[in-house]
């Protein structure tokens, strides 16, 4: 079975107007926080990302853009593969984090 939860790890489309060089701090900090939360299996912090993550509300002005991660995490838990996870894509595009996670 293949479940795809599609979306960027940060998703503030207004930030696409970012005119400075490099990656905005809010995006890199949220991405780093999320990477560490995933590595540490800190599911509770991920679920409460609006309060636990640096710039959580800025990284995801609308929470449904982070929800695909939870759908895939839930499916992985049902099949006993939640702990078998790895980042398969990382980096940034126009200041948004592209991190993608594979379970199983």
Q: Could you report the per-residue pLDDT of 87-100, keeping only the tens digit for each?
A: 899 999 888 999 99
Over residues 4-49, the pLDDT tens digits come to 887 789 988 887 765 667 889 999 999 999 999 999 999 999 999 9
What pLDDT was estimated at residue 19? 61
Give the pTM.
0.89
**pLDDT at residue 47, as a whole number:** 95
In this prediction, residue 78 has a pLDDT band, given cuts at 50, 70 and 90, of: very high
What's residue 18's pLDDT? 59
Q: Assign residue 8 a region: left if phi > 0, alpha if psi is -120 to 50, beta otherwise?
A: beta
Q: Helices (H), strands (E): how many in the chain?
A: 5, 4
């Amino acid at each position: 079975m293949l479940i795809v939860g599609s979306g960027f790890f940060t998703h503030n489309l207004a930030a696409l107007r970012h005119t400075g060089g490099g990656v905005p701090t809010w995006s890199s900090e949220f991405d780093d926080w999320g990477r560490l939360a995933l590595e540490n299996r800190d599911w509770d912090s991920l679920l409460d990302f609006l309060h636990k993550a640096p710039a959580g509300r800025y990284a995801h002005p609308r929470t449904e853009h982070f929800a695909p991660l939870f759908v895939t995490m839930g499916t992985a838990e049902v099949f006993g593969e939640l702990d078998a996870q790895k980042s398969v894509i990382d980096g940034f595009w126009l200041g948004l984090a592209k991190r993608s996670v594979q379970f199983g």
